[in-house]
Copies of this chain bind each other. A is one copy, B any other.
Amino acid sequence: MNNDTKVDASPFDTFESRQARRLAKRDAVLLASVRMFNEKGFHNTSLDEVAAGLNISKPTIYHYLGNKEQVLLECVNRGLLLLQSASQDLRGEEGDAVGRLKTYLKKYAEVAMSEFGKCVLRTDAESLSKAGAHSFRERKSQINQELERFIQEAADEGAIAVSNIKITTFAVAGALNWPAIWHNIDGDLSPEEAANELVEVLFSGLQLRS
């Protein structure tokens, strides 16, 4: 590519550039909000404080996203989408089920350590309105079913040992979700490294292998 072909930008906004700027602003508000929800908890977060951190006013947040519950729901939706796309990316893939399972668990753990993933795991359905709580529970349970399916497929292939699928799924979900609840799993590791190590522990187990 030749950078010499670049021309000076027009001083007039195009529809696309206005649209992109609007989305970028919305994203900035979302990210500032999710960080504060994760740090202080939903109930102790005030949108005034989020707005002050961005040098904007609270009505600007209302304009882009709505009230505090609507902001939370949007954060949670982002996290749920990330978890869902981790499985969708793998659904079409060839190869052995145990390889897909391992890749899925690593991606899942990485999402769980991201701001939006944390927000999904730290949010109590009880904090949401009835309609919000219902769809939230529904989608979390879909993700649990996805996880169970990946584990079951690897078991059906004869590649992993599973005596109780519900309990195994629970143990795996707990180990991978826990960093979202307790923060700072290990300051020296990147989320990717921490995710790999967690999955290794789950695959190997504590007991020595002969």
Contact = CB atoms under 8 A, between A and B. Distances in A.
Given A170-B179, A174-B174, A164 B197 contact: yes
A44 B160 contact: no
Nearest to A188: B166
Contacts of A208: 158-161
B41 A201 contact: no
B207 A203 contact: yes
A202 interface: yes
Contacts of A160: 206-208
> Interface majority SS on A: helix, strand, loop or mixed?
helix
A110 B46 CA distance: 37
- 5 closest residue pairs by CB, A with B: A205-B205, A174-B178, A41-B126, A171-B175, A174-B175
A185 B170 contact: yes
A25 B163 CA distance: 44
A200 B170 CA distance: 13
Nearest to A38: B126
One complex includes copies of this chain to the number of 2
A127 interface: yes
Given A41-B124, A175-B175, 6 more contacts: A151-B206, A161-B208, A171-B178, A174-B176, A174-B179, A209-B209
Contact of A43 (B127, B175, B178): B127
A167 interface: yes
12 contacts: A161-B206, A161-B207, A161-B209, A163-B197, A167-B201, A170-B179, A171-B175, A174-B177, A178-B178, A202-B206, A204-B205, A205-B206
A51 interface: no
A167 B170 CA distance: 18
Interface in A95-133: 122, 124, 126-127
A198 interface: yes
A173 interface: yes
Contacts of A185: 166-167, 170
A80 interface: no
